[in-house]
Structures are given as C-alpha cells and as structure tokens.
C-alpha cells in the first residue's frame, strides 16, 4: 500500500469538455454521409444505392471512403453477392437510422408548427389489431388529413425488433414482451385467444374438448411468432402436457385459414379474428378452460418531443381501443 505522504495534496481531475467537437469525426460527419452509408447498407449494392440517391457511383464511393477515414474503421465489405456491413458498420447503421428518424420527426414537427400538419407515421400492427387498424387510421386522419400512415402487419417478435431499430414509430400488439428503458408501453385493453378448426373436424362432435385432446392434431402458427408460440405452450405446460406439434407456419392469415379449412389442422387466433375465420368457413372449437388472455396496447420509443403525427395516432389509439370493459385481441 503506497505511503499517504507520497501522494500529492490535491489531485486535479480534468473537467469534461463543454460544447465544441471532441474529435475530427464529430466535426466532419454530417447527415449526408450517414444517408449515403445507410443507402448502401440497406441496398447491399453501391449501384442500387447510387440510383436510389440519384448520385453517380464514384461520388457515392467517395462519401463512404471519407466516412471510413473519419472513423478509422472499415464499414462495408464487398463480396461476390454484394455489400455487407462490417460489425463497425452494423453499429453505425443502427444509430444512424435513429438519427435519420429523429431528423424526419423534427422536420414533421416544424411543418406541423407552420400549419402544414404533414408527416408520416410508420405503424406496426399485430394480428390482434387487424380488424381495428382501419378505424385507428381514419380516426387520426380526421384531425391530420395530410399525414401519411404506413401500416405493416407482423407478429410481436418482428414488431418489437422493428420498433427498437426505428423501422416503426409505434406498434399495436400484445404488450407481453420484456420492458426496455427506451420504450413506453401503454396498455389499452385485454385480448383473448380461441382455437379454430375445419367445420367438419372430428373434434367438433365431442363438445368442449380438453387441452390433452388438442395434442392429437397438427397445428399451424404464425411465422417467427416465438413469444406467441411460447405463450401457447405455457397453457399446455400448466396442464402438465407437452406443447402442441406445430407442423406449419405462415405469415399470412389467409394461408393459415386455408390450411385449417382443408385439413385436420388446428390454429390459435385472437378473438378479434373470429369473424374472419367464420367467413372463411372455419369453426370455433370449444375448449375447456380459457387458453390465455393478453394485455394489448401500443408501444413507442421514448422521446423528449413526440412528433405531432405520432401524437395524433396515439390519441386515435386511445380513443378507439381504450373503452371500459372492452375485450378484444
């Protein structure tokens, strides 16, 4: 242990810098360079990115080289199939997308403040909200008629990944996913699930069936819906049963319904899709005991100032979905 007398009486700790640029990269990197890099990373081709940006390929290559020189790392790797980001490139791309998104929100906010009320909202919707998403869009556009709403349907896993990576501004889905400090989850209602089968399925002759009887038949589920499949498996685990055998997956509700209608497949769907299933000639299979309930709502990234279009869509979600005693899925 050093002798206390050998230490200086007072140690001067450098104060953190206030304002200004700490590095050359911070001073020289601008949104144009980041936009050029993102275009190549997403198109996986200098040629395609140059066309999308209306640039010559040499000019685009020059931008990427300048960015790599400023950062002192290689951002992109060329190979015979195209271009792929390096680990450094992937790290930059994930943050650059957020920068681009925040800039877009800032511009939309400025336009709204000027009275233009224009902008874009990218919405991710889970199967639970398919039948009410048009109502959400219309409710918002009554107040924001010049806002464009882009709607994509996907399962919870895909929606969450898209929200984190800034592909979506907001998602409408089951909120039973891990909490993240950068994401706000707002519950709006409770949803339930049911089992559907073909109208002439043998199980329909038995009246309410037990979870054990369901295991004798193949199942079709939504593709990449790991959280939903795990939740369904938990229902069987609670009855001390193995999980059902999922033999097909699809990202299309129409394909799912067609498979069930033409075979002995079973499928678990949100209650809100019951009318869709019945219209396709399917039948609800009575099951002893409820399958599961899920908290439904919206999730969006925390921000000091949400854009006016996004605030309008959040308001529409609250207006349409947050009805006392309302249950849907």
> What is the per-residue pLDDT for 130?
93
The whole-angstrom separation of Cα 307 and Cα 105 is 5
Superfamily the domain 100-189+295-321 falls into: Periplasmic binding protein-like II (3.40.190.10)
The whole-angstrom separation of Cα 87 and Cα 133 is 37
Structure tokens at 6: 């050998």
- H helices, E strands: number in the chain: 12, 11
Q: Which residues contact 196 (CB under 8 A, 6 or more apart)?
A: 257, 260, 266, 267, 268, 269, 274, 277, 282, 283, 284, 285
Domain boundaries of the chain, sorted by first residue: 24-95, 100-189+295-321, 192-293
Residue whose tokens read 């109502």: 135
> What is the per-residue pLDDT for 136?
93
> What is the per-residue pLDDT for 229?
85
Integer angstrom CA distances of residue 258 from 115, 127, 130, 265: 48, 17, 18, 10
Say if CB 75 and CB 60 are below 8 A apart: no
CB atoms within 10 A of CB 57: 13
Q: Say whether 301 sits in a helix, a strand or coil.
A: strand
The whole-angstrom separation of Cα 180 and Cα 206 is 45
**Domain topology for 24-95:** Arc Repressor Mutant, subunit A (1.10.10)
Spatial CA neighbour of 217 closest among 228, 206, 201: 201
The whole-angstrom separation of Cα 288 and Cα 290 is 7
Integer angstrom CA distances of residue 61 from 23, 37, 318: 23, 9, 47
- pLDDT tens-digit series, residues 101-121: 888 777 776 766 565 457 789
> What is the per-residue pLDDT for 36?
93
Structure tokens at 177: 């996913």
> What is the per-residue pLDDT for 325?
42
pTM of the model: 0.63
**Domain topology for 192-293:** D-Maltodextrin-Binding Protein; domain 2 (3.40.190)
The helix (H) or strand (E) run that includes residue 256 is helix 253-261
Q: Which residues contact 55 (CB under 8 A, 6 or more apart)?
A: 36
> What is the per-residue pLDDT for 18?
56
The whole-angstrom separation of Cα 136 and Cα 85 is 37
Q: CATH topology of 24-95 equal to that of 100-189+295-321?
A: no
Q: Say whether 188 sits in a helix, a strand or coil.
A: strand
Structure tokens at 22: 């700490």
- pLDDT tens-digit series, residues 218-260: 999 999 888 888 888 888 888 889 989 999 999 899 999 999 9
Integer angstrom CA distances of residue 88 from 33, 73, 74, 75: 15, 7, 7, 6
The whole-angstrom separation of Cα 98 and Cα 301 is 10
The tens place of each residue's pLDDT in the chain, 329 residues long, gives 445 555 556 666 665 555 555 666 667 778 888 899 999 999 999 999 999 999 999 999 999 999 999 889 999 998 888 899 999 999 999 888 888 888 877 777 676 656 545 778 999 999 999 999 999 999 988 888 888 899 999 998 899 999 998 899 999 999 988 899 999 999 999 888 899 999 999 999 888 999 899 999 999 999 988 888 888 888 888 888 998 999 999 989 999 999 999 999 999 999 999 999 999 999 999 998 766 788 999 999 987 678 888 888 999 999 998 654 444 43
């Amino acid at each position: 242990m050093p002798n206390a007398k050998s230490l200086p009486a007072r140690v001067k700790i450098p104060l953190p810098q206030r304002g200004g640029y700490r590095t050359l990269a911070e001073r020289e990197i601008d949104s144009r360079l980041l936009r050029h890099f993102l275009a190549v990373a997403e198109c996986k081709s200098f040629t395609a990115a140059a066309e999308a940006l209306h640039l010559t390929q040499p000019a685009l290559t020059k931008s990427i080289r300048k960015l790599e020189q400023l950062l002192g790392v290689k951002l992109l790797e060329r190979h015979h199939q195209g271009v792929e980001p390096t680990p450094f490139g992937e790290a930059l791309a994930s943050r650059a997308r957020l920068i681009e998104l925040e800039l877009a929100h800032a511009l939309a906010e400025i336009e709204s403040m000027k009275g233009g009320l224009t902008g874009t909202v990218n919405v991710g919707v889970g199967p639970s909200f398919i039948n009410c998403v048009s109502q959400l869009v219309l409710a918002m556009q009554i107040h924001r008629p010049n806002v464009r709403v882009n709607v994509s349907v996907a399962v919870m896993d895909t929606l969450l990944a898209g929200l984190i990576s800034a592909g979506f501004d907001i998602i409408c889905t089951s909120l039973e996913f891990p909490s993240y400090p950068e994401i706000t989850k707002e519950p709006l209602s409770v949803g339930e699930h049911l089992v559907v089968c073909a109208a002439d399925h043998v199980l329909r002759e038995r009246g309410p069936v037990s979870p054990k009887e369901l295991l004798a038949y193949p199942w079709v589920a939504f593709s990449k819906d790991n959280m939903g499949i795990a939740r369904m498996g938990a229902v069987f685990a609670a009855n001390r049963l193995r999980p059902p055998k999922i033999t097909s997956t699809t990202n299309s509700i129409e394909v799912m319904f067609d498979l069930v209608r033409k075979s002995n497949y079973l499928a678990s769907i949100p209650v809100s899709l019951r009318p869709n299933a019945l219209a396709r000639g399917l039948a609800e299979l009575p099951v002893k005991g409820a399958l599961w309930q899920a908290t439904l709502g919206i999730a969006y990234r925390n921000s000091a100032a949400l854009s006016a279009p996004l605030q309008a869509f959040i308001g529409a979600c609250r207006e349409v979905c947050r009805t006392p005693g309302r249950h849907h899925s």
